[in-house]
Structure 1
Amino acid sequence: MVNDATAACRAEHRYSTGYRFRDYAYFFIGSFIGGGVVLNGTVFEGNQGNAGALGSMRSTGPLGESQQLIDVASLHLLESRLSQAGLDPALICKQPQDWSGFMRHVEPWIGQTAQELAKAALSICSVIDFSAILIDGAFPPKVRQDLVERTRRYLVNQDKRGLIEPVIEAGSFGHNARAIGAASSPLFSQYLLNTNAGLSGI
């Protein structure tokens, strides 16, 4: 009934740090990466409910080939790293989450993902003047914070001509974000004002 990353964005915007920003883009990294868009203080779903499909943004592979963000910044890449190392990739989904036993495989994944998020953040801000980019995902809080800090560092060295650099902030809910946002959807539609309602017919 609702895109899972959009649902996660709803949870962040309604119940946590997202309310501090009027306009921002939101990345949620699960098996694949997705996202959400907040405009005028409201999660914007678009005419067909597909706004914020950030995983479909274009990226470039190591040989210059065209790829999507989902191909270079998703947890399935970490799963592949663990499989190649002879480890069970299901470890990343085990609850409660504890990735301390394989952090040497997580570190290079964080580096690659942060590079891609820094580039994607500026691409997004070239279309809409977002003041912030929020990052969350189905991983432990320590991994999320490392990813946010690394993205901030990579952003410093990006070509930002003509752009205002957004702040990079961490989300709050981790793997629970999608369920919280989806469960709250009836409340949002019934009781909260959609300040983007007039945009849906454009």
Structure 2
Amino acid sequence: MTSARNNQLLRGNFELGKGEKLLQDNPKAIVKEVFWTHGITQRAISAATKIPQQTVSRLVITLIEDGLIRGVGDSGKASTGLEPNPEYAYSYGLSILLDAISIALMNFKGEVVATRHVELDDMGIASVLSKAVAEVEAMSAEHSIDNDRILGIGVGISGFFSSNDGKMNTHHAIEEWADINIADTVADAFNLPTWVVNDGTGAAAGEGIAGVGRKYKNFVYFFVSSAFGGGLINNGDMIRGTHGNAGELGDMLPAKLYSHPNLKLLERILLKHGVEVPSMYRLNEVFDPEWPGVDEWIYKVQDSFDLVATASSALLDSQAIIIGGHIPTKLAQKVIPRIDVYAQFRRGAKRPMPEIVCAGVTDCPVAVGAATLPIRDWYL
């Protein structure tokens, strides 16, 4: 596969672009406003970017002619508001899980076009990439997507970055992926620009574009899966940190003092009560909040949720805390009312508290988040 997009900062084995900044009259600044506010008017774009409205009108005409944006509604006229043209470009996301992969396809508007989840017996590099390439090619054929309309591929994987050289200390179940440059390896297989994040950051990135997180500029994402982690979104963008490890919420919880709120613990408790569950990636489809053992899990992890939610609120003053990952929505709904975010009272009032809500992206959240990485790079 090849890509004709030359104006983005490339990752993997691809050379870095010149990284043109968004100047005041750069049409990319207009596309950025259109992406984040679907239906935005030219007047609102002018107010947000400080570009004179006459210049905005001229650039909008060009952008529509080039196919990047379009008017909303059936009329397609710019006067009714603007939105990205979803068919202008696409991106892929690959989630490398502990015993499976997930693939997500996203269009230029930030909408999820398709997802696939494939369980694998062999999580080695050759096995994963062979299957992933085949799935991506099949999805492109199914949706009639030309290679030159693919911006790139993002990768989400369990682990933490060891340094700034692109290598990760991955989960022991995917040992072969440890201490290699994952971006280079995936870029070679797909011949596409490639970006890599850990799974929690990836899921948060996806929630910020394709989920309920889109309504919040600042939020903390609780990633509940085989382990407990998270991601941070500030002013709509990912907080990566010095090495790319920002959002490692599980490290707030000393294992000897706190039970980590993960789904492996839930599976063990449910099994003790005679409830066998499928793969955690399908748990949302069958979960019953009345299963024996559910309340026991909540009791064990309640203090952990309280501590991390309080620390997140106090440190980041976020608008929201979003409970996501692979946790069943019905379980998250049962947990949320019990989370206690501590704050001092002063003059009869607390400081503003974050909303605590369920994630909107429940199908392949890491792959969806990974698919946003090429799009985020293009827009931002």
Give the alignment's TM-score, normalised by structure 1: 0.77
* Structure 1 counterpart of 2:223: 28
- CA distance in 2 between counterparts of 1:17 and 1:104 reads 30
1:3 aligned to 2:186?
A: no
Q: Which sits farther off after the overlay, 176-185 or 163-172?
A: 163-172
1:192 aligned to 2:379?
A: yes
Choose which of 73, 76, 100 in structure 1 pairs with 2:261. Answer: 73
* Structure 2 counterpart of 1:105: 293
Give the greater-gyration-radius structure (CA).
2
Contact 2:230–2:249, Cα closer than 8 Å, also in 1: yes
1:161 aligned to 2:356?
A: no
Contact 2:203–2:325, Cα closer than 8 Å, also in 1: no
Give unpaired runs (5+ residues) of structure 1.
Answer: 194-202
* Structure 1 counterpart of 2:316: 128
Deviation at 1:91, TM superposition (A): 5.6
1:138 aligned to 2:326?
A: yes
Q: In the alignment, residue 174 of structure 1 is paired with which amino acid?
A: T
Give unpaired runs (5+ residues) of structure 2.
Answer: 1-195, 346-350
Q: Which sits farther off after the overlay, 94-103 or 34-43?
A: 94-103
**Residues 96/135 of structure 1: CA separation in 2 closer, same or farther (3 Å cut):** closer
Deviation at 1:20, TM superposition (A): 1.9
**Residues 25/81 of structure 1: CA separation in 2 closer, same or farther (3 Å cut):** same
1:76-121, Cα deviation, whole Å (9 max, x unpaired): 1112213333443546444672022972222221343344212211
- CA distance in 1 between counterparts of 2:267 and 2:207 reads 26
Identity of aligned residues (%): 28
Query: Which of the two has greater helix per residue?
Result: 1
Contact 1:114–1:148, Cα closer than 8 Å, also in 2: no
Deviation at 1:183, TM superposition (A): 2.3
Q: In the alignment, residue 374 of structure 2 is paired with which amino acid?
A: P
- CA distance in 2 between counterparts of 1:129 and 1:29 reads 21
Q: Which has the higher contact order (CA 8 A, sep 6+)?
A: 1
RMSD across aligned positions (CA): 2.5
Contact 2:229–2:250, Cα closer than 8 Å, also in 1: yes
- CA distance in 2 between counterparts of 1:179 and 1:66 reads 32
**Residues 90/125 of structure 1: CA separation in 2 closer, same or farther (3 Å cut):** same
- CA distance in 2 between counterparts of 1:46 and 1:8 reads 16
Could you say what secondary structure the match of 2:222 adopts?
Answer: strand
